[in-house]
Amino acid sequence: MKPIRSLNDFNQNNLIVDAVVFNLSQIGEISKFRASSRFKEMSKHIP
- DSSP secondary structure, the chain, as one string: -----SHHHHHH-HHHHHHHHHHHHHHHHHHHHHS-HHHHHHTTT--
What predicted TM-score, i.e. pTM, was given to this entire model? 0.63
| Nearest C-alpha neighbor of 47 from the set 33, 37, 32 | 32
- Calculate Rg over the CA atoms of the chain: 16
- Residue 6: the pLDDT is 96
pLDDT in tens, the chain (47 residues): 789 999 999 999 999 999 999 999 998 888 777 778 888 888 888 77
pLDDT of residue 9: 95
